[in-house]
Structure 1
Amino acid sequence: MELVEGRRWVRPLCWSAVLLDGFDLVVLGTITPVLLSGKVWGYTPDKAATVATVGLVGMTIGALLIGTVTDVIGRRRALLVAVSSFSVFTLLCAFAPSVEVFGLLRFLAGLGLGGCLPTAITLVTEHSPRGRNGGPTTLIMTGYHVGAVLTALLGILVIPSLGWRAMFVIGAAPALVLFPLMLRHLPESPVFKGDRPGLDAVKSLLRPGFRRPTLAFWITSFMGLLLVYGLNTWLPQIMREAGYPLGAALSLLLVLNAGAVVGLLVAGRIADKVPMRPVTLGWFAGATITLALLSIRLPAPVLYVVVLLAGCFVFAAQVLVYAYVGRVYSADNRATGLGWTAGVGRLGAIAGPILGGALLSAGLAFPWGFYAFAFVGLLGAIAVSLVERVSVRLPGERRTADRLGKTGSTGSAEHA
């Protein structure tokens, strides 16, 4: 009875933790114009790019470290550490005296935030019915986009009256409610044993049988997050280069993210009814096709529909990768697998804005920007098609993660 009661808290608490990722995606974009125009700390576009990059590097390291440690100390404790550390360093960003300190704090906040996503997805996966983690995973990832939209709206309302530093105070404030709730109500995974050293969990990812899906997931996640961050960063400017007015270019960004929420809800339902590989492959193929279509000058109504569909496919494709990882790995190395998949993917998050910026600087943003992003989507589709069944039994594992097997929350490879 206590376990059932605890499970009711898993999804809302994990959703709230993922919402912090959405805040972090947008917050720098809301304050950067203020820092540049006010010449705060002698802020320049180059310094802004450096700060953004070190934050993403922190997330990469955090995903790798906390994802691995989660298989040692437990999912619940790891998520508590991730949320609390991110919130503390985000609050300190509000009092940064220089760009160097600000960058360091963004890096440290990224360490905690990087661990939120893989740990939250692991908990949701292991509290979901057998073979039914697709819907729950995509559902909690809507928190990412809700957080992004709320942060953008807060920037409009808060910065003119309270200043840019208030954004970081607001970003840290949810922990005042979220942390006590997690401390009291968040249950540990029913399959966590705590008897597997972290280094062994990492090594297991590259053992025969796991090696091929591991590498395929890493490549797919890299491509997926390259698209997510590249499009969120550069879509408005690319559309401006194509001749669209600024208002239309910005509205297309909102349509893109609205499509993301729709895509997540639809993809999750489908993924719980059919095997994961064709669903994930189909979503990357859809991303490839819609991004290629954006290279054509389309009538306004058609353009908005295509951008909406691109949002449906691009963002949900990446989340389906996380759900797929949750089904392929076992309880012994699931959090590590998710952490390393997310961590390698963060390298794609760094590469996406760099790719878009390089094309813009070369005067090739339209149509070659969309050709490039479509090609990235194609590479993601090819990579996910290489994921194969896993036939390795790890020490202490009850069942083999086999796409043909029936598993419960201890190893959800059913429909993989």
Structure 2
Amino acid sequence: MTRSTSHPPQHRRGGAVVFLLCFVTIVFDGYDLVVYGSTVPTLMAYEPWDLDSAEAGFIGSFALVGMLIGSMTVGLITDRFGRRRIMLWSIAWFSTCMLLTPLAPNEHIFGALRFLTGIGLGGVVPTCVALTIEFAPKGRRNLANAVMFSGYSVGGVGAAVLAIALLPEVDFRVLYAVGALPLITLLPIAYRYLPESISYLARTGKEDLAVDTAHRYGLVYGDIVTTDQLPDGSAQPQSSMRQLLSPRWRRSTVLFAAANFCGLLLVYGLNTWLPQIMRSAGFALGSSLAFLLVLNLGAIVGAISASYIADRVGVQKVVIASFSIAFVAIFLISLNLPAGLLFLLVAVAGFGSVGTQILVGGFCATHYPQHLTATALASSLAVGRIGAICGPILGGMIASWMLGYQVNFYVFATVAVLGAVVAASVPRQMSDAAITSGTEKPPARVDAELVRDDQ
């Protein structure tokens, strides 16, 4: 049945609203996670808690365990509740937990609140990526996702800057209280202006509203929703998770989970332990925190530039190159080099770790049909969170075993190589016609069709 798409021009609004809301949400996501790495040296020096390296590493992993649970939960309930409600619930959840964290009387309650914060944070990442991809112009989806997700590094920069400015003068709890700001700033605005996913509306039988939403946001409805996604009333639609584990998508689903494992291990391993590692290498507290600042600045510049290229040459090639760059930069940081060169290498490592993880999210989101993106992102990130959990724990174990700070970089460089291999193994998409007939087109022709689809 043909739907009318003619509406008065004054109803049209740009997808920038969705982009900005997702960007600000990810800024706080990045702040709430990186703030722990910014405060690790202070926490370990806090006498009432008497934390050693291993204990600090385990506490650092608690938020990431919570994110694993949050991501898994979102993957299971997205089809039922929709992306808008999940995002609002997640913002309210993590902001409330950040408000309570400064009140923790001991390290055990502090760790429990970090875990609960992670549950909320785990829900916003796949939801923000899926909404940004859906409401972005089709030929600029990787770039839009990279700019949006660079908010993570903006939040990381904010955490490092506040730590440098405030920690010598105030209690570390003040930095955690800042993470509660979305409760009174972002949440009311998101409740008023965030639209529901067009794909979700179509799949739940609200096609007229889905068409209207696409028109109001200046989108081509057919670019987002295809006829095979719509309920025909003859049978229950197959769940997104079941489709991801079907023969067509199973290999991609496993490999994206592995790519997220490698990317997130690098992101949270470096963001948690880089200041303490550089202190072990002989740098003062201010200088060691400056390395964390440079790491996230490098991620912002590198990820946006690389995603601009990815929209033109293919995101898979850029992800492979980015993991490879991370390997070289991280390995070189382990050498006894001048401070200026180390700062440059840390910036490059920021692109190769945090920046590459941004690209992996865009790669995953654009690899699958739109109606599968939220579940694909949530499920792959849920498995990838195991890598995020391992990053802080590995750093703490290496420090407690007194193996030398260089071993941290050797481990992270090895993970970057594995990430490049996994990314290279993700199969190219086949057209529906090829799936139906059991044939696959030559690679060059497939690449050409995918490039046309993204334009």
TM-score range, shorter chain: 0.7 to 0.9
User: For 2:248 and 2:118, how far apart are their aligned partners in 1?
Assistant: 32
Matched, 1:274 2:281: no
Q: 1:399 — aligned with what? A: none
User: For 1:71 and 1:51, how far apart are their aligned partners in 2?
Assistant: 33
Q: 1:284 — aligned with what? A: 323
Match of 2:51 among 44, 63, 66: 44
Q: 1:143 — aligned with what? A: 151
The answer to whether the 8 Å contact 1:131/1:327 transfers is no
Per-residue deviation, 1:220: 0.9
Match of 1:309 among 331, 348, 358: 348
CA 1:306 to 1:23, structure 2 compared with 1: closer, same or farther past 3 Å? closer
Q: Helix, strand or coil for the counterpart of 2:246? A: coil
The answer to whether the 8 Å contact 1:221/1:344 transfers is yes
Q: 1:55 — aligned with what? A: 63
Question: What is the TM-score when the length of structure 1 is the normalising length?
Answer: 0.86
Q: What are structure 2's unaligned runs of at least 5 residues? A: 1-8, 205-230, 433-440
Match of 2:97 among 74, 89, 93: 89
Matched, 1:134 2:142: yes
User: For 1:172 and 1:292, how far apart are their aligned partners in 2?
Assistant: 37
Per-residue deviation, 1:385: 0.6
The answer to whether the 8 Å contact 1:74/1:194 transfers is no
User: For 2:299 and 2:326, how far apart are their aligned partners in 1?
Assistant: 11
1:191 partner letter: S
Cα RMSD (Å):
3.0
More divergent stretch after superposition (348-357 vs 262-271):
348-357
Per-residue deviation, 1:248: 4.6
Matched, 1:117 2:125: yes
Matched, 1:209 2:217: no
Q: 1:397 — aligned with what? A: none
The answer to whether the 8 Å contact 1:6/1:185 transfers is no
Per-residue deviation, 1:247: 5.3
CA 1:313 to 1:38, structure 2 compared with 1: closer, same or farther past 3 Å? closer
Matched, 1:296 2:335: yes
Matched, 1:319 2:358: yes
Q: 1:108 — aligned with what? A: 116
User: For 1:6 and 1:189, how far apart are their aligned partners in 2?
Assistant: 15
User: For 1:150 and 1:185, how far apart are their aligned partners in 2?
Assistant: 26
User: For 2:10 and 2:70, how far apart are their aligned partners in 1?
Assistant: 32
CA 1:29 to 1:314, structure 2 compared with 1: closer, same or farther past 3 Å? closer
Cα offsets for 1:210-241 (capped at 9, x unmatched): 11111111111111111111222333444455
1:26 partner letter: V
Per-residue deviation, 1:147: 1.3
Matched, 1:5 2:13: yes
The answer to whether the 8 Å contact 1:223/1:377 transfers is yes
Match of 1:228 among 257, 267, 277: 267
Q: 1:72 — aligned with what? A: 80
Q: 1:170 — aligned with what? A: 178
Q: 1:17 — aligned with what? A: 25
The answer to whether the 8 Å contact 2:330/2:412 transfers is yes
CA 1:300 to 1:105, structure 2 compared with 1: closer, same or farther past 3 Å? closer
Q: What are structure 1's unaligned runs of at least 5 residues? A: 394-401
Q: 1:370 — aligned with what? A: 409
Question: What is the TM-score when the length of structure 2 is the normalising length?
Answer: 0.79
The answer to whether the 8 Å contact 1:72/1:194 transfers is no
5 Å matches for 1:143-162? Answer: 143-155=151-163
CA 1:172 to 1:283, structure 2 compared with 1: closer, same or farther past 3 Å? same
Q: 2:212 — aligned with what? A: none
2:35 partner letter: V
User: For 2:178 and 2:428, how far apart are their aligned partners in 1?
Assistant: 45
Matched, 1:190 2:198: yes
Q: Helix, strand or coil for the counterpart of 2:13? A: helix
2:408 partner letter: G
More divergent stretch after superposition (215-224 vs 245-254):
245-254
Match of 2:394 among 355, 362, 382: 355
The answer to whether the 8 Å contact 2:291/2:343 transfers is yes
CA 1:205 to 1:301, structure 2 compared with 1: closer, same or farther past 3 Å? same
More divergent stretch after superposition (218-227 vs 63-72):
63-72
The answer to whether the 8 Å contact 1:210/1:392 transfers is no
The answer to whether the 8 Å contact 2:262/2:415 transfers is yes
Q: Helix, strand or coil for the counterpart of 1:191? A: helix
User: For 1:361 and 1:370, how far apart are their aligned partners in 2?
Assistant: 15
1:369 partner letter: N
1:106 partner letter: R
Matched, 1:383 2:422: yes
Per-residue deviation, 1:161: 6.5
1:302 partner letter: L
1:83 partner letter: I
Per-residue deviation, 1:169: 3.3
Per-residue deviation, 1:256: 1.9
Identity %, equivalent residues: 39
2:255 partner letter: A
The answer to whether the 8 Å contact 1:327/1:413 transfers is no
More divergent stretch after superposition (82-91 vs 384-393):
384-393
